[in-house]
């Protein structure tokens, strides 16, 4: 073994050059946080042997769901009657008979069951982002939300988790968009549409805006939420510039752009959108959805 290439994770598990940080989905390049979450999930699977099943947030990480917290605890379920103690920062859960799917060589809880297992352990923002991502990636469809709700009943934490299902929207294409939507909804400024098509006079679609509000005279107020991972490269900057010019040239859109730093209940996103809507004669409404 060459020095520096192997890292001990827990008893009997060694990470060779970061290979535990790989997801089996291969849908998109993994961020450092994605790799850390997948590493935790794989560590638990390897630590507890071939009969272990990744569950909860570990299953969602391996399924490629976005919106999870930056770090998670590796969690597995073991066959009925096998109650090994947690070790090495890993956890076991007693979930007999959970349906599974394959992610590469890993056995993981089905998306419906993994979501129901994870939601009671997530805060509101991460819970909604996870639901949005699972819907957006078609791991869940709208009719699956009723099944998730049924599985949540009677679980500890279900009272806080079940209302999140009504807030889910698979049109959000990133956790930042999910969190922006929550902030605006809580402020009484919910968008009228997501992924708003922006069209030229001849009907050609030149872009889709993340969040949109109808304004008088057929105009739209559109808010774009720029994440560093997608929009931070030089190529993305040039593409965003061309896209923004095309949107403005239609003459029908007031375009505003925000980043993660602008989010939050009192962030620049909420205050700026509120100001623009008030100037157009639209007032915030009380929603009662905040927590």
**DSSP codes of every residue in 31-71:** PHHHHHHHHHHHHHHHHH-TT-EE-HHHHHHHHT-----S-
- Give the pLDDT confidence score for residue 31 in this predicted structure: 83
> Do residues 246 and 287 lie in contact, with contact meaning Cβ atoms separated by under 8 Å?
no
Q: Phi first, then psi: what are they for 99, rounded to 5°?
A: -65, 145
User: How distant is the alpha carbon of residue 205 from its chain centre?
Assistant: 27
State whether the Cα torsion 63-66-70-75 is positive or negative: negative
Could you give the dihedral angle defined by the CA atoms of residues 104, 105, 108 and 110, in that order, rounded to the nearest 10 degrees? 50
Give the span between the Cα atoms of 255 and 91, in whole angstroms. 47
Report the distance separating Cα 263 and Cα 272, nearest Å.
11
Cα–Cα dist 175/131, whole Å: 10
Q: Are 262 and 268 a contacting pair, CB within 8 Å?
A: yes
- CA 246, distance to chain mean position in Å, is 29
| Amino acid 127: pLDDT | 98
Average pLDDT by consecutive 10-residue portion of the chain (291 residues)?
48 52 54 90 91 96 96 89 64 86 95 98 97 98 98 95 98 96 97 91 83 93 81 57 72 89 95 96 69 48
Closest by CA to 126, choosing from 154, 90, 164, 156, is 164
Residue 80 near residue 88 (C-beta atoms within 8 A): no
Q: Which helix (H) or strand (E) segment is 168 a member of?
A: none
Q: Residue 247 has what pLDDT?
A: 73
**Which sequence spans correspond to the domains of the chain?**
6-169, 176-279
pLDDT reported for residue 237: 55
Place of tokens 């993660």: 260
Residue whose token pair is 């990744």:
54
**pTM, entire model:** 0.85
Q: What pLDDT score was predicted for residue 29? A: 61
What's the CA gap between 7 and 21, in Å, rounded? Answer: 12
213: tokens are 């509000």
Rounded to the nearest angstrom, the gap between the alpha carbon of residue 44 and the centroid of all alpha carbons in its chain is 22
Residue 139's nearest CA partner among 129, 131, 128 is 131
């Amino acid at each position: 073994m060459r020095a520096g290439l192997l890292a001990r994770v827990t008893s009997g598990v060694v990470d060779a050059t970061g290979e535990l940080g790989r997801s089996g989905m291969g849908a998109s390049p993994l961020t450092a946080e994605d790799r850390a979450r997948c590493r935790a999930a794989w560590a638990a699977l390897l630590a507890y042997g071939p009969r272990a099943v990744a569950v909860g947030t570990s299953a969602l990480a391996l399924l490629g769901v976005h919106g999870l917290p930056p770090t998670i605890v590796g969690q597995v379920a073991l066959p009925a009657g096998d109650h090994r103690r947690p070790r090495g920062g890993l956890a076991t859960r007693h979930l007999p008979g959970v349906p599974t799917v394959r992610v590469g060589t890993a056995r993981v809880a089905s998306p419906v069951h993994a979501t129901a297992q994870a939601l009671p352990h997530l805060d509101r923002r991460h819970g909604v982002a996870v639901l949005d991502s699972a819907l957006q990636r078609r791991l869940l469809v709208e009719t699956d939300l009723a099944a998730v709700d049924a599985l949540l009943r009677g679980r500890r934490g279900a009272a806080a988790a079940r209302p999140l299902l009504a807030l889910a929207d698979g049109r959000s294409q990133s956790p930042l968009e999910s969190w922006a939507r929550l902030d605006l909804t809580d402020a009484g400024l919910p968008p009228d549409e997501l992924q708003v098509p922006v069209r030229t006079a001849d009907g050609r679609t030149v872009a889709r805006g993340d969040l949109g509000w109808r304004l008088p005279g057929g105009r739209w107020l559109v808010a774009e939420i720029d994440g560093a991972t997608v929009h931070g490269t030089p190529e993305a900057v040039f593409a965003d510039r061309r896209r923004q010019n095309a949107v403005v040239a239609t003459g029908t859109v007031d375009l505003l752009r925000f980043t993660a730093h602008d989010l939050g209940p009192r962030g620049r996103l909420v205050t700026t959108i509120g100001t623009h809507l008030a100037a157009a004669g639209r007032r915030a409404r009380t929603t009662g959805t905040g927590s």
